[in-house]
Amino acid sequence: MDFLELSDYVLAGNVAKVAEGTKWMLEHGVEPLSIINEGLIPGMNTVGVLFKKGDMFVPEVMRCAKAMSGGVALIKPLIAERDIPSRGTVIIATVRGDLHDIGKNLVVMMLESQGFRVVDLGVNISPEQFVSAVEKHQPQVIGMSALLTTTMPGMSETIKALEEAKLRDQVKIMIGGAPVTAAFASQIGADGYAPDAGSAVELCGSFVA
Ligand code: B12
């Protein structure tokens, strides 16, 4: 088993083989973070490329994501055990009226694998729910996802609600999702936009640096 083979199993959406391969690597002393970064993530990156080109479809993408999460789940406890200092807390959710969560879940997975503590509020989250979560968890960063043009206004409503609650200045806000753009981010006063999960991690890192 090598990284290439593991990433091929992610691409094939083979849940059992990804789990088996991840376990094998851990037992043979492969560095846990390299299994994620050099095996699992490259597989998922290829999935993203094929999906964009229309060479892969949603049910397959979901199976690949499931295979990848299975591998990540085996590695996560080991990373926590080694007590890598957290790079900061991120609250993330899909905004009100929107139930799409595949992309958000990828962002969550990547952030966690890169050392962030993530509080995932789920989908269909109102501005008020964001505000109370910020009060409760005191994050450095908030991430909002929207896949529908009709739910994008929920992002600016959430920013307004944070302003009204006098919490806006305590957090950095990043947004994403297929219809979202950098121009939209600056228009609504978000701090940044990222087009994919990898860039979301970079953006988040720049916020807490
Ligand atoms: C899967 C899917 C569904 C699934 C969702 C399953 C789930 N659990 O998520 C189901 C079948 C439920 C669904 C329902 C609907 N859908 Co739909 N769906 C899609 C589809 C095919 C793929 C979305 C996806 O998962 N992409 C894969 C992921 C990996 O990509 P991603 O989400 O863009 O995420 C990446 C980046 O955007 C970024 N990112 C994402 N979130 C965040 C957050 C932050 C903070 C950052 C920094 C980055 C970031 O990183 C991610 C990873 O790289 C898209 C088509 C498309 N091309 O996008 C339509 C699409 C989004 N859906 C659409 C529609 C219309 C609907 C429905 C209204 C259909 C209906 N009539 O019922 C409903 C709405 C339900 C609701 N209220 O939300 C339209 C939206 C049109 C528009 N512009 O508004 C699309 C574009 C299809 C189309 N061409 O018409 N859908």
b/e for 110-143, b at 16 or more Cβ within 10 A?
bbbbbbbebbbbebbbbbebbbebbeeeebbbbb
Q: Whose CA is nearest to atom 49 of ligand 1?
A: 176
Q: What is the pTM of this model?
A: 0.81
Q: Which mean pLDDT values do the consecutive 10-residue runs of the chain (209 residues) have?
A: 96 97 97 89 87 88 90 82 74 97 83 86 98 97 98 98 98 97 98 91 93
Mutation pick for ligand 1 pocket among 123, 147, 152 (CB with most ligand atoms within 8 Å):
147
Q: Whose CA is nearest to atom 77 of ligand 1?
A: 98
Alpha carbon distance 102, 94 (integer Å): 10
Q: Whose CA is nearest to atom 31 of ligand 1?
A: 103
Residue 118 one-letter amino acid: V
